[in-house]
Structure 1
Amino acid sequence: MTRRTGETGGPAVEDRTKAKGGTARSMTITLVGNLFPPVVALASGPILAQSLGVDGRGAVAAATAPLGLAIALMTFGVPEAVSYAVARHPRLVRVAARNGAAIVVLAGLLATGAVFAAREWLSGGDLEIQKLMAVASLAVLPTLLLGVLRGIASGLQRWAMVAWEKVLASGLRLAVLIPLWLTGHLTPFTATVVLAVMPVMGALAYLTLPRRLPPAEPDTEGLASTRALTGYGLRLWIGTISGILLSRVDQTIMTPLSSAYELGLYVVAVNVSELPLVIHRAVRDVTFVTDASRSEDARLAAAARISTLICTVVALVLGGTMIWWLPLLFGEEFAPAVPIAWLLLVAVVISTPGSIAGAGLSARGRPGLRSIALVIACVLNIGLLVLLVPTYGAMGAAWATLLGYVVSSGLNQWFLKRLFGVSMLSFYGVRRTDLTILRGYAGSLVGGVTRRLRPRR
C-alpha cells in the first residue's frame, strides 16, 4: 500500500516545505539537462549533412542505428531498477551498483556480439558500413555501464550529475565535430566514432560520485540482489520496449502502408509535437525517484496537474503559431504537416497525466502494470495504423497515436486507483495550490539567478 507521509502541523509541514524546494530545484536541473541534447542535435545536424553528403550521412546513420537499438533493447530495465532500489534503500547503493553492473556487462557482451554477427545483413552487404558498424558496436558495453551510473545518481537524487552527463556528452560531441568539419577531417569514419564515443564521455560527470555515497550496510533481505534487480527491471523493460514501439513503429511501417511523402510530413509533425515533452520528462523523472523514496498521493497528483498545465500552455503556443513558422522553417512543401502536428500536440497533452501515473506505479513497486498499459496501447496502435494509414496517410497515423495514448494514460490512472486509491479526477484540473507551487518555483528560480548575477563585495 501507499506510504503516505506528512501529517498536519509541526515538523511534517517543515519537511514538506523543504521537499517542495528540493523537488523544484531538481526539476530545474533536470530540465536544463534535457534541453541541452536537442539543442546540440539541432546544431550538429547541418554540419554532418553538409560535410558528409547524402550517402555519407546515410552510412553513418546505418552504422549507429544498431548501437541505439541494442542499447534500448539490452538495458533490461536495470538502470531504472538500480535507481528504484537506491531511492528506497540508499545504504544498499554499493550492492545495487555491483549487481547492476554485472547484469549489464553480460547483456552488453551479448549485444556487441549480436551486432557484430548481424552487421553484414544490417549493412545490406556494404563493406564500408560493416566496418563502421563494427566500430560503433564497441560502444554498447560502456554505454550500458553508464546507464548504471545514471541510475545510482538518480536514486540518490544527484540531479546535477545527471544533467552534467547530458551536457558533457552533447557538448563534447559538438566540440569535436566542429574542428573536424573546419579542417576537412569529418568523414563517415570520424563521424561514427564521435557519435558512438561521445555519449560515453558523459561518465566524467560521475567522477566524484563514489565519494558521495552513503554508509554501506549488508543486503540481508536481498532487496538489491541480482534477482531483485532483474525482476523489477524486466517488468519495467517490457513496458519500455512497448513505449518505444508506440512512439516509433508508425514511422517504421508508414512507407510500405502509404508513401515516403506522408512519412516526411509525419516526421516533421512528430518533431514539433514532442517539444512540450522536454518539460514533462523532467517532471516525470524527478517524480519517479521522489515517490519511490517517499510516496505521497497529493504530491503525485499535483505533479501530474502541473506538468499537464505547462504542456498545455506550450502546446497552445506552438499550435497557435506554427501555421506561420513551420512552413518558413521547414519549407512550404511541409505546410500540410500543420494539422497533423495539431493532433499530435493534443495526444501529447492527453498522455501527460497517465505518464506521471505510470511513474507512480513504477515508484511504488508495480512496474508490470505500467508495462501492461503500454503493451495494450501498442497493440491497439499497430492495428489502427494498419487500418487508417493506407487511406488517411499521416493524419491516420496521428489518430492512431492519439487513441493509443488515451488508452495507456487511462489504464495507468485506473491501475493506480485500484491498487493505491489515488483518485483519477485528482490528476486533472488546476488547483489554487498548483498555482502557488508554480509561483513559488518561479520566485525561487528568479531569486537564484539574481543571486548568481549579483556582484560580490
Structure 2
Amino acid sequence: MAQRVARNSLLSAIASGATMLASAGTMIIAARTLGVEGTGIVTLSLWLVTMAVTIAGLGLPTTVTRYVAEAGDAARQRALARRFFRPTLGAALCLLALAGSAAAALATGRVDVIWSALAPETLGARIEIWLILGLTGAAQILGQYHLGVLRGQQDFRAIAALTLAGFGVQMVATLVGALAFGIAGALAGCALGALPAALAAARAALDPRGRAEPPSDALVTRMRRFALYTWAGSVMSAFVWARIEIYFLQRSEGYEAVGLFTAGLTLASLATQGPLLLTGALLPHFANAHARGAGDRVREAYASATRLIAFLVFPAGLGLAAIMPVVMPLVFGESFRPAVPVASLLVAVAAIGATSAVGTHLVNALERSDFVFYSSLCGAVLALTAGFTLVPAFGLIGAGAARALIQLAMVGAGLWFITRRLGCPAPFRDLGKLFVAASLAALAARSCLHLIPGPLALLAALPAAALVYGICVRRLHALTAADRDRLRGALSLLPGPLGLCGRPVLLLIRN
C-alpha cells in the first residue's frame, strides 16, 4: 500500500508540476516579451478565467475524486463519473456563451465598460480576448472534471500524460503567440494548453462502458451536499488564495503594480508548490482509509505527510526569500527589481501556508467540506476588507502584507479544526524544529549574497544553505525514522540521476 501511494504521489507530482510550470512559464514568457504592464494585463485576464472556472465548476472535480475513490469497481466508477458530467458540460457551455455575448456586445459598442477595467487595447483586440478567455474557461472546466475522475480512479499515469501534453502545447503556443500577436496571442496559448484534458473528457463521456447502473439516490444526495459546500468553499477560497489582490492593485496602482505582484506570486509558487505536488494522491488515499474505518492510519499518515511537506517547503520558501535580490532580476529582468521586497514576503509566508495542503485533503476526505466553506467565507471577508483599505493605502507592499496575514490566519484556523475537531494532532513540535533549521539555512544563503556580488553568489548560497539545513535537521531530530524511510522509498521511484541527487539529503539527515 505504501509503495502504491508513493508511486501515485510521484505521478501526481509530475502532473501537477507540469501544470505549475505551465503557469509560471506563461508569466515568465509574458514578462520577457510583453514587459511589466503586459504581464499585468495577462495576469488579470487569466485571473478572470480562474474565478469563472471556480464558480462554474460547481465543486464537482473534488467531489468526483472523493466519491469515485470510494466507489469500488471500475463500472460503478465510470457510472458515477458519467452522472455528473452533464452539469459540468452545461456549465462550460454557459461560460462560453457568456463570453460570446460579451464579445458581441463589445462589437456593437454597447458594453465597452466590460473590458475597460482590463485591457487598454483597440476594440477589435478586446473582442478577440473575450472569445479566447471564454474558450480557455470552457476547456478548463471540462479538463478539471476529467482529471478529478482520474484521480478518484487513481489513474495517475493518464493524468501525467494529459498534463504533460498540455504543458508542451501551452509553452510553445504562448511563446509563438506572444511574439506574433502580443497579449491576445499569449492568452490563446493558454487556451490551447487546456485542450488535451478537455478532449479527453469528451472522449470519456462518449465511452459506452459508462452506461452502467446509475448510483443510488442516497449516494447522489451525499455527493450533492458535499459538492455544494465544496463549491461554496472554493468560491470563498478564491478570494484568499487566487490573487484577488491584483484586482485592487489594478484599480489603485495600475497594471505595472499587477505585473510586479505577479512576479512575486510566481516565484512563491515555484518555491513551494513543487513539494505540494506530492500530495495529489492523498485525498483518494485518505478517503479509502476512512471508508475502511482505519482512523489510526489516517492520523499517522496526516502527521507524517505534514512533516515531510514542511521538511521540503520550509527551506525552499525561506531560502528563496533570502536570495530574492539576485533571483528576481535574473528570472524576470531588471525592470522587475522593485518587486523584491513584496516577493520575499510572499515566498516566506507561502512556505508556512503550504503545510496546510495535507490538512485540506484530510478535511475533504472526512466529508467536512462545510468547514472549508465557513473558514473561507471569513477569509473572503478579510480579503475584501483589506482590498478596500490596505491596498489603496500602501500599494504593492500593502497587498503583500494583506495576503500574508490572511493566509496565516486561515492556516491557524485549519490546524485548530483538524487537531481539536477531527482528532488528528498536528506535529507542532517537529514543525517548529524544521522552521528553525530552515531559518538558519536561509541566513547562511543571505550571508553568501553579502560576500559575493551578482548571480555568482548563488553558486555558493545554495550549497551552503543545503548543508546547514541538513545538519540542523539531523541535530534537532526533526524527522522520525518512519519519515526517513518514506523519503528513501520516494527517492527509489525517481529516475536514476534524480535518485542519486537525493541520496546526499538522506545522508545529511540520518541520525
Q: TM-score surpassing 0.5?
A: yes
Which structure 2 residue ranges, 5 or more long, are not aligned?
Answer: 117-121, 291-297, 432-477, 501-511
Corresponding residue for residue 505 of structure 2: none
Change (3 A) 1:428 1:399: farther
* CA distance in 1: counterparts of 2:251 and 2:139, whole angstroms: 36
**How many corresponding residue pairs?**
429
Q: What's the offset of the Cα at 1:383?
A: 2.3
Change (3 A) 1:362 1:396: same
Q: Does the 8 Å contact 1:269/1:338 carry over to 2? A: yes
Corresponding residue for residue 72 of structure 2: 90
Q: How does 1:209-358 map to 2 (within 5 A)?
A: 219-220=215-216, 222-223=218-219, 225=220, 227-247=221-241, 248-258=243-253, 262-295=257-290, 296-358=298-360
Q: What's the offset of the Cα at 1:395?
A: 2.3
Deviations 1:321-345 (A, max 9, x none): 2222323443445434333222222
Change (3 A) 1:177 1:410: closer
Corresponding residue for residue 147 of structure 1: 144
Change (3 A) 1:413 1:210: farther
AA aligned to 2:215 is D
Are 2:162 and 1:169 aligned? no
Q: Which moved more, 1:340-349 or 1:146-155?
A: 340-349
Change (3 A) 1:171 1:154: same
Q: Does the 8 Å contact 2:321/2:348 carry over to 1? A: no
* CA distance in 2: counterparts of 1:259 and 1:438, whole angstroms: 45
Q: What's the offset of the Cα at 1:48?
A: 6.8
Question: Aligned Cα RMSD in Å?
Answer: 3.8
Are 2:487 and 1:438 aligned? yes
Q: Does the 8 Å contact 2:250/2:257 carry over to 1? A: yes
Change (3 A) 1:62 1:235: closer
1:422 aligns to what SS in structure 2? Answer: coil
Deviations 1:111-148 (A, max 9, x none): 22222223333344924422452365355445423222
* CA distance in 1: counterparts of 2:222 and 2:19, whole angstroms: 32
Q: Percent of counterpart pairs with the same letter?
A: 21
* CA distance in 1: counterparts of 2:51 and 2:284, whole angstroms: 26
Q: Does the 8 Å contact 1:30/1:162 carry over to 2? A: yes
Corresponding residue for residue 413 of structure 1: 415
Corresponding residue for residue 111 of structure 1: 95
Q: What's the offset of the Cα at 1:306?
A: 0.9
Q: What's the offset of the Cα at 1:386?
A: 3.5
Q: Which moved more, 1:421-430 or 1:353-362?
A: 421-430
TM superposition score normalised by structure 1: 0.80
Deviations 1:427-455 (A, max 9, x none): 8533313233223322342569789xxxx
AA aligned to 1:82 is V
Change (3 A) 1:314 1:116: same
Change (3 A) 1:268 1:144: closer
Corresponding residue for residue 160 of structure 1: 157
Q: Which moved more, 1:319-328 or 1:253-262?
A: 253-262
Change (3 A) 1:163 1:386: same
Q: Does the 8 Å contact 1:358/1:413 carry over to 2? A: no
